[in-house]
Structure 1
Amino acid sequence: MARFSFLEWPVLRQFRSSDPSGRGESVVSEQTRNTVPRTTTADKVVQSVCPYCAVGCGQRVFVKDDKVVGIEGDPDSPISRGRLCPKGSASEQLVNNPSRQTEVLYRAPKATDWQRLDLSTAIDMIADRFIEARRNHWEDFDDKGHPLRRTMGIASLGGATIDNEENYFAKKLFTAAGAIQIENQARI
């Protein structure tokens, strides 16, 4: 930290400079002059979509050394035209939060402790349970012989932390599997 100097007071800098109104260079500190935005040092800029709601605001993701260093609204986006809500502006914290869960945890029925699973094992467990629930609860026809072709053993309750394309895919997947109980905050 630099030593304090009375000559660097903004009022004195104002009288010494060509800024008599005190609205320009005289009120800018040395620290402010040397401050550089994180986004100017990024290795690359990637276009993305905000993960929070179904609006699909465009984002510019700034990456340095394979780490997200900042996220801004994308001015080229016809949806948001460079603007983001507070949640979208803070979405950089989704990937850089030290408390973010990065491993698959599983708690068996009636167990008290969580165990770590590799991703392929967890996906296989989910797929097996999905297929079994569909098979065990499939309804071809109702009591009057009307075709149903549905399952009541599968339901989907989604949030808005995935974008429109992922929501569309989830809706198509569950509908194709015969599920009719499909709800999502994004309201596809």
Structure 2
Amino acid sequence: MGLKTFIESWPVYRQLTGDDPLGRGSAAYSATTRNLVPRTATADRVVKSVCPYCAVGCGQNVYVQDGRVTQIEGDPDSPVSRGRLCPKGAATKQLVTSSGREHRVLYRRPHGTDWEPLDLDTAMEMIAERVLRSRRQGWQDEDEGKKVNRTLGFASLGGATLDNEENYLIKKLFTSMGAVQIENQARI
């Protein structure tokens, strides 16, 4: 590249000699930026979602191309967040696309130091068995002579992005098992 070509490639030179004296348009573009296309422009579809991080429940637009998430942005139609996301919400694409994301159940045995993969059916059986054992071991028929029929062996703390219907169903499930310590993060 010659000296003249090199100097003409500088944005300040293009700003002073071209039709963009304030440097807010073409003078600021390099050959690379001139050819950039937004990740949202190539999406096949946009799926509405809710940020999973906190109790605010900011709306998100998830851009999908060929079955893969290409971008996640704030949903301007959301009455909660009006298109804005905090830094954690803006980084939720990494939850789906990170190479470090696990797509299998991992289990570490008591006193173990390593994780081992489990199939989903085995993991669900282990969870069900432990819930039933905790219920049995923590069951109380009476408390100070008063009939209570409850268990203090487990509790439920629902996540922040659960909606009213999901919280209702969780409350019903845990109440039917005798639990009394049931809460959701949205109320905390």
Normalised TM-score (structure 2): 0.83
Assess, with a 3 A threshold, how the Cα gap between structure 1 residues 24 and 116 changes in structure 2: closer, same or farther: closer
Which moves more between the two structures, 133-142 or 47-56?
A: 133-142
Q: Which moved more, 1:40-49 or 1:173-182?
A: 173-182
The residue that corresponds to 1:117 in the other structure is 118
How much does 1:167 deviate?
4.8
Partner of 1:37: 38
Q: Give unpaired runs (5+ residues) of structure 1.
A: none
The answer as to whether partners of 1:140 and 1:149 remain within 8 angstroms in 2 is yes
- The count of aligned residue pairs is 184
Q: Does the 8 Å contact 1:52/1:163 carry over to 2?
A: no
User: Could you give the per-residue CA deviations for residues 144-183 of structure 1, whole angstroms, max 9, x where no partner exists?
Assistant: 2x231210111234554x4335555434432332212335
Relative distance call for 1:90 and 1:39 in structure 2 (3 A) is same
Correspondence 1:111-150 to 2 at 5 A: 111-144=112-145, 146-150=146-150
Which range moved further: 120-129 or 103-112?
A: 103-112
The Cα of 1:116 is off from its aligned counterpart by 1.6
Equivalent residue number for residue 51 of structure 1: 52
- Give me the identity figure in percent: 60
Partner deviation per Cα, 1:67-104 (whole Å, 9 max, x = no partner) = 21111011111111111111111111111121122221
Q: Which residue of 1 aligns with 2:28?
A: 27
- 1:30-87, Cα deviation, whole Å (9 max, x unpaired): 2221111111111211101110111111110111222211110111111111111111
- Change in 2 beyond 3 A, CA 1:91/1:167: farther
Equivalent AA in structure 2 for residue 164 of structure 1: D
2:75 aligns with 74
Using the alignment, how far apart are the partners of 2:182 and 2:110 within structure 1? 25
Q: Is 1:49–1:163's contact at 8 Å kept on the other side of the alignment? A: no
Q: Which moved more, 1:34-43 or 1:3-12?
A: 3-12
Aligned Cα root-mean-square deviation (Å): 2.5
The answer as to whether partners of 1:56 and 1:164 remain within 8 angstroms in 2 is no
- Relative to the length of structure 1, the TM-score reads 0.83
